[in-house]
Structure 1
Amino acid sequence: MTDEPSVPTDYAKTLFDLTGRVAVITGAGSGLGAAMAIGYAQVGVDVVLADINMDGMKATRATVAEQGGKAEIQKLDVTDRAACFALADKVAASRGRVDILVNSAGSAFRSPAEEFPEEKFNFILDLNLKGTYFCCQAFGGKMLSQGKGSIINIASIGSFTAYPWASAYLASKGGVLQVTKALALEWRDRGVRVNGIGPTLMESPLTKAAGQKTSITADWIKARMLRPRLGLPRELIGTAIFLASDASELVTGHIVMCDDGYMTQ
């Protein structure tokens, strides 16, 4: 590829081709992580599923297999920095490289701010923010050694705006936004791009577990939606493919919003 301002023959044909690339997806046992893992496998990506949810990962792997793909399961607690680095070493040794990292592991807890339990605040910050950062460090280091890679952090509409009973979650996702920008700034000249996806309120096990579908938090968000429906995990796959591919070569340090227009208001 040259730097000439022309369009080479067949240039566009391979922009979205991810065949044979290696992707690690955290939180791949359910919800958004599972959907993106399945989507990557459908386009020929060598998928490594990482989660503490072994049963969930087995279900994701089974779906990948049913559709003709392959996926490997690796148990990972993303809040354990040493474990993140150990898995990065293992994947790099067995696959020879790590091309894509999707940081989808996360959780939420709903409580008015004045009553928010300290242990829940710590849990949310540790999982959503520190877990994302540790995986970026571990797998990003492999990408820096390669001189190329794409990291995709799962942010949120809550990275940019507030809603009630979600102060810890908002703090964590605001932090994910800033980590994404900071790492993009530091790593772009060494070949590694760092971006994020900002979903709207999604139909997923996390939203159900947090009670969002009938909660003060969910009611607040749904009242401000342009359309009265939650997002579906599969609706993030296209953006995940774009950000992992050469089609997004000039995109780094951004959160690509998949919010159905929520942030236009």
Structure 2
Amino acid sequence: MADDEITVPANYTAGLFDISGRVAVVTGAGSGLGAAIAIGYAQLGVTVVLADINAAGMAATLATITEQGGKAVAAELDVTKRDRCFDLARKVKADHGSVDILVNSAGSAFRSPAEEFPEDKFNFILDLNLKGTYFCCQAFGNAMLAQGRGSIINLASIGSFNAYPWASAYLASKGGVLQMTKALALEWRDRGVRVNGIGPTLMESPLTKAAASRSSITADFIKARMLRPRLGLPRELIGTAVFLASDASELVTGHIVMCDDGYLTA
């Protein structure tokens, strides 16, 4: 290796976290974590494609981005429909010239003891959280592979690693997201596409509130094991999402970056 390859050139760090001018697709952008990441990207000059089945939520996210001077478009998408994921990937590539970043944030949860877990709810959660993530990785991953570059960021969970009660389907789906992320990273790294994930702690979000309305057993279990007695805020994931989308994480692939406030250390 030549000496100039192991030195740090002048101004090398200036552009490491610069993602301005890139195109990002964010699923689940109509609320919660997806909305926060989409708004954060737009603040940095990214053109954001908001993808969700929640039209009203997308409109609210779009309005915020527009008010703040950012660029975004809304695209209705049911991530459980593989053909629609591919259709949107082709449209984004045609309209914007590239697909640089994909954030898979669309997901759901349902609380029930395992022995009573309803089949329809189990299927819904696995379809949305796991299959939906996989279909989007396939669709937008193909576009990234064709252009020889891209960063995919999947929303995992503390539940990808640790179990908690009344969440068996959710845990199964997020464990699958972990292994899927590793598998795709392994297959695609030498073709220019990195695949990583973010593992949040229990968050303040509409999903958390909706799940808690059925039972507090899951949240109570998690809260009792937190190092600090507070939930994470959606905006606290933006920095990690920027890092994983940027050139600063060039050597990072196949990992879940935990934003768990130390939960897994306990």
Equivalent position SS for 1:170? helix
2:250 counterpart residue number? 249
Return the offset for 1:13.
0.2
Return the offset for 1:66.
1.0
Q: Distance in 1 between matches of 2:123 and 2:241?
A: 29
Return the offset for 1:82.
0.3
2:98 counterpart residue number? 97
1:199 counterpart residue number? 200
1:223 counterpart residue number? 224
CA RMSD of aligned residues (A): 1.1
2:22 counterpart residue number? 21
Equivalent position SS for 2:227? coil
Equivalent position SS for 1:49? strand
Equivalent position SS for 1:58? helix
Q: Distance in 1 between matches of 2:217 and 2:259?
A: 22
Deviations 1:202-260 (A, max 9, x none): 00000001117960000000000000000000000000000000000000000000000
1:181 counterpart residue number? 182
2:5 counterpart residue number? 4
Equivalent position SS for 1:256? strand
1:149 counterpart residue number? 150
Unaligned runs of 5+ in 2: none
1:47 counterpart residue number? 48
1:239 counterpart residue number? 240
Q: Distance in 1 between matches of 2:93 and 2:265?
A: 41
Unaligned runs of 5+ in 1: none
Deviations 1:25-75 (A, max 9, x none): 000000000000000000000100000000000000000011111210000
Q: Distance in 2 between matches of 1:213 and 1:223?
A: 19
Calculate the TM-score normalised by the size of structure 1: 0.98
Report the residue type matching 1:116 in the other structure.
Answer: F
Q: Is the 8 A contact 1:180 1:195 kept in 2?
A: yes
Q: Is the 8 A contact 1:32 1:234 kept in 2?
A: yes
Equivalent position SS for 1:210? helix
Q: Is the 8 A contact 2:156 2:200 kept in 1?
A: yes
1:82 counterpart residue number? 83
Deviations 1:173-216 (A, max 9, x none): 00000000000000000000000000000000000011179600
Confirm whether residue 59 of structure 1 aligns to residue 63 of structure 2: no
Equivalent position SS for 2:242? helix
Q: Is the 8 A contact 2:199 2:259 kept in 1?
A: yes
Equivalent position SS for 2:5? coil
Say how many residue pairs are matched.
264
Cα distance change, pair 221–212 in 1 and its aligned pair in 2 (3 A): farther
Equivalent position SS for 2:241? helix
Report the residue type matching 1:45 in the other structure.
Answer: V
Q: Is the 8 A contact 2:109 2:170 kept in 1?
A: yes
Report the residue type matching 2:102 in the other structure.
Answer: L
Report matched runs for 1:124-139 at 5 Å: 124-139=125-140
Q: Distance in 2 between matches of 1:221 and 1:75?
A: 33
Confirm whether residue 30 of structure 1 aligns to residue 31 of structure 2: yes
Q: Is the 8 A contact 2:26 2:34 kept in 1?
A: yes
Report the residue type matching 1:110 in the other structure.
Answer: R
Report the residue type matching 2:44 in the other structure.
Answer: V
2:123 counterpart residue number? 122
2:210 counterpart residue number? 209
Q: Is the 8 A contact 1:212 1:218 kept in 2?
A: no
Q: Percent identity?
A: 81
Q: Distance in 2 between matches of 1:97 and 1:41?
A: 16
Q: Distance in 1 between matches of 2:220 and 2:55?
A: 32
Q: Distance in 2 between matches of 1:106 and 1:207?
A: 11
Q: Distance in 2 between matches of 1:93 and 1:44?
A: 20
Q: Is the 8 A contact 2:52 2:106 kept in 1?
A: yes
Deviations 1:112-163 (A, max 9, x none): 0000000000000000000000000000000001110000000000000000
Report the residue type matching 1:17 in the other structure.
Answer: D
Calculate the TM-score normalised by the size of structure 2: 0.98
